[in-house]
């Protein structure tokens, strides 16, 4: 891995390659282009947004809490009236098929609805929910802890994600792996690690593995500090090889000392939730608890990882080393994408993400108005990223193309293991 803190030089800066070979969307902004536009300041961008977009309302925000809760109650009621938690006696029967499909349908839509609560708690963490941070933290803590999210810990690391977006060294969540970390040799041959897995199973299966790793196990691994965290501790020092910064230990190097009490409260909340789950399993059985709660929770976690993954990653969107990174560069590396009906459930978090990263204190229910203003200002300059590709196709493309960057310095672009040569052994 490269060393942080040095200014990059042109000879070590990556060259921009086409996003794909078949005409897919490509970011209009190329910082390596000598004719690249001068980036506006945050203040210049804010000036084009109507001032009412920044007004936070207790009533408006709480309306969405009640709306999403009503949908969750309705989904649970319909399911309770139509499905049984008892396993069918004949697993090969039509009845068993209906049971299986019914509970999977419930898990998907309840997980979808609960992601709305997750987004609202995320708004609380940013201070966008209401004018009172105490009010925000009260409701954010309840909604996030109910979804096994350590509220105060993630509030801090997510704020860092916003402060250091697409920073190869000090970024937080979905921090790109380097060529060496992926297991590529000096000639980019695949000899170990993920590269060896890719060579063994092939392009398509590896993309499927990427999707599984992100959407199914990515969130708990991230919270435990085992994947996707930054390379620096909160003191700005490089982490030692194998050093873990997790969301649960108050003394984790991820957090400053002054936050230890809040981190402890979040961890206690998560432990208390797991204790409640354990007692529910003893009282009602593991299967009912899995059907009613764990299934939707898995879909909820898949959605939240999907958004962060897709809103900041594309082969044509730059990643910046410490010497090249600026806050505006990082924020403008965000991508807006269409999510169809899921925009309703998830409060347009994916289709207004550029505005959100520029001004996280803005309430979500004004983000579409702000996005229109930002787009009108940035798009003529070639600085607004909107990929019209359906999210599920974009997910597949990112899983196939965004695997590693060459190094941590300079301006880097994601590259794909599909373009790397085979190992020396297989090439002979």
Instruction: Give the tens place of pLDDT for each residue, 340-362.
Output: 999 999 999 999 999 999 999 99
Beta-strand pair 319-320/411-412 = antiparallel
The pLDDT of residue 190: 77
pLDDT of residue 424: 55
d(CA 16, CA 33) in angstroms, rounded, equals: 9
Nearest residue to 161 (alpha-carbon basis) of 176, 149, 151, 173: 173
- Single out the residue of 383, 402, 374, 341 nearest to residue 115, CA to CA: 341
- Please state, in angstroms and rounded to a whole number, the distance separating the CA atoms of residues 301 and 285: 23
Q: What is the pLDDT of residue 24?
A: 87
DSSP string, 189-234: -B-SHHHHHHHHH-HHHHHHHHHHHHHTSHHHHHHTTSSS--SB-T
Going by the DSSP 8-state scheme, the letter that residue 380 receives in this structure is: G
Mean pLDDT of 145-166: 96
Q: Cα 24 to chain center, whole Å? A: 22
- Is the CB of residue 184 less than 8 Å from the CB of residue 270? no
Region of poorest pLDDT, from 9-13, 170-174, 180-184, 196-200? 9-13
Q: With bands split at pLDDT 50, 70 and 90, how would you rate the model's confidence at 14?
A: very low
Rounded mean pLDDT, 306-331 = 96
| DSSP string for residues in 282-321 | HHH-HHHHIIIIIHHHHHHHHHHHHHHHHHH--TTS-EE-
Please, which contacts does 349-357 make with residues 24 or more away whose CB atoms are closer than 8 Å?
349/119, 349/122, 349/307, 350/307, 350/310, 350/311, 350/391, 353/307, 353/311, 354/378, 354/384, 354/385, 355/49, 357/162, 357/165, 357/331
| Mean of pLDDT values over 40-54 | 97
**Total-model pTM:** 0.91
Q: How many angstroms from the chain centroid is the CA of residue 137? A: 21
* 3-class secondary structure, 326: coil
Distance in angstroms (rounded) separating the CA atoms of residues 306 and 303: 5
Q: What is the pLDDT of residues 228-271, one digit of tens each?
A: 888 999 999 999 888 999 999 999 999 999 999 999 999 999 99
* Spatial separation of the C-alpha atoms in residues 8 and 181, rounded to whole Å: 20
Summarize the confidence of residues 53-79 as an average pLDDT.
98
Using CA atoms, how far apart are residues 170 and 330, in angstroms rounded to an integer? Answer: 12
Question: Is residue 380 pLDDT above 90, yes or no?
Answer: yes
CB-CB contact of 136 with 122 (8 Å): no
Is the model's pLDDT at 17 over the cut of 60? no
Considering just the CA atoms, what is the radius of gyration of the chain in Å? Answer: 22
Query: Of how many residues is the chain composed?
Result: 428
Which are the contacts of 396, defined by CB distance < 8 A and separation ≥ 6? 207, 211
> Is the pLDDT confidence value at 193 over 60?
yes
Q: Which of 397, 392, 1, 400 is nearest to 175 (CA)?
A: 1
Q: Kindly report which listed range (127-136, 161-170, 188-197) carries the lowest average pLDDT score.
A: 188-197
The pLDDT tens digits of the residues spanning 250-260 come to: 999 999 999 99
Q: What pLDDT, on the 0 to 100 scale, is given for residue 19?
A: 42
Mean pLDDT over all residues of the chain?
92
């Amino acid at each position: 891995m490269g060393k942080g803190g040095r200014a990059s030089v042109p000879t070590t800066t990556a060259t921009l390659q086409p996003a794909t070979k078949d005409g897919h969307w490509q970011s209009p902004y190329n910082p390596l282009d000598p004719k690249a536009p001068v980036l506006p300041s945050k203040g210049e961008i804010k000036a084009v947004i109507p001032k009412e977009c920044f007004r936070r309302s207790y009533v408006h925000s709480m309306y969405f809490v009640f709306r999403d809760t009503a949908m969750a109650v309705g989904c649970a009621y319909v399911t309770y009236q139509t499905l049984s938690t008892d396993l069918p006696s004949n697993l090969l029967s039509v009845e068993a098929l209906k049971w299986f499909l019914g509970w999977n349908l419930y898990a998907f839509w309840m997980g979808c609805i609960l992601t709305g609560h997750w987004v609202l708690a995320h708004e609380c963490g940013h201070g966008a929910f209401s004018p009172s941070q105490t009010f925000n933290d009260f409701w954010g803590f309840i909604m996030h802890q109910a979804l096994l999210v350590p509220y105060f810990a993630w509030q801090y690391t997510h704020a860092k994600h916003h402060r250091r977006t697409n920073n190869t060294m000090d970024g937080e969540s979905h921090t790109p792996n380097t060529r060496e970390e992926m297991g590529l040799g000096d000639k980019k041959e695949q000899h170990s690690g993920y590269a060896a897995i890719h060579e063994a199973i092939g392009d398509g299966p590896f993309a499927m593995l990427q999707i599984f790793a992100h959407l199914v196990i990515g969130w708990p691994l991230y919270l435990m500090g085992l994947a996707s965290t930054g390379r620096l501790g909160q003191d700005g020092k490089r982490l030692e090889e194998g050093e873990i910064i997790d969301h649960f230990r108050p003394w984790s190097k991820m957090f400053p000392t002054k936050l230890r009490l809040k981190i402890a409260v979040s961890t206690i909340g998560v432990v208390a939730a797991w204790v409640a789950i354990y007692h529910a399993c003893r009282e009602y059985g593991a299967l009912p608890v899995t059907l009613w709660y764990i299934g939707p929770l898995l879909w909820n976690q898949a959605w939240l990882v999907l958004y962060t993954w897709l809103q900041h990653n594309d082969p044509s969107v730059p990643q910046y080393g410490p010497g090249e990174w600026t806050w505006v560069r990082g924020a403008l590396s965000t991508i807006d994408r269409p999510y169809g009906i899921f925009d309703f459930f998830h409060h347009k978090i994916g289709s207004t993400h550029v505005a959100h990263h520029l001004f996280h204190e803005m309430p979500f229910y004004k983000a579409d108005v702000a996005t229109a203003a930002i787009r009108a200002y940035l798009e003529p300059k070639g600085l607004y990223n909107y990929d019209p590709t359906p999210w599920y196709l974009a997910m597949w493309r990112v899983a196939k193309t965004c695997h590693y960057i060459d190094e941590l310095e300079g301006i880097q672009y994601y590259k794909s293991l599909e373009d790397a040569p085979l190992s020396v052994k297989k090439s002979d």
